[in-house]
Amino acid sequence: MKKENYEFKRLKHTLRQKREAGVKVLEWKLTAEKKEFIENLGYKVEPFLYSVKTRTFYNIRNLQSTLLKDLHYLKKNGKDTTVRHLKRGEKELLDEYGIKYYPVKYKIYLR
């Protein structure tokens, strides 16, 4: 058995144990392969936490969004990324300004 097959078998076994123990939701960091494997097992997987790149803005006073202001000041303090939960409207705002974000942690619904 190859290492990758062993990891997927162990992951499947862990998910089954958690489900039998009565756990309803798990919050895990997943790779794209593991996410796809879990979805193929029939579990619902959705992004929970996102890594967002920070950047500065020219005129910070004219921005209405506190998210954009937070990203501006984090960049000023030397942070290149931040991890946070994003709502749908915040994702649309980041897309509008061309700020990159990607999922880091996922919620796995076992029931």
pLDDT in tens, 28-83: 999 999 999 999 999 999 999 999 999 999 999 998 899 999 999 999 999 999 99
**CA-to-CA distance for 51 and 49, rounded, in angstroms?**
7
The pLDDT assigned to 38 comes to 95
**CA-to-CA distance for 79 and 74, rounded, in angstroms?**
5
Locate 81 and state its tokens.
Answer: 């990324």
Comparing C-alpha atoms, which of 48, 50, 47 is closest to residue 82? 50
User: Which parts of the chain fold into alpha helices (H)?
Assistant: 3-20, 32-40, 66-76, 88-97
pLDDT in tens, 5-21: 899 999 999 999 999 99
33 burial via Cβ count (<10 Å: 0-12, 13-18, 19+): exposed
Count the alpha carbons within 13 Å of 79 in the hemisphere toward its beta carbon. 13
Decide if pLDDT at 1 tops 80. no
85 burial via Cβ count (<10 Å: 0-12, 13-18, 19+): exposed
Decide if pLDDT at 90 tops 80. yes
| pTM of structure | 0.85
The pLDDT assigned to 2 comes to 84
The pLDDT assigned to 5 comes to 86
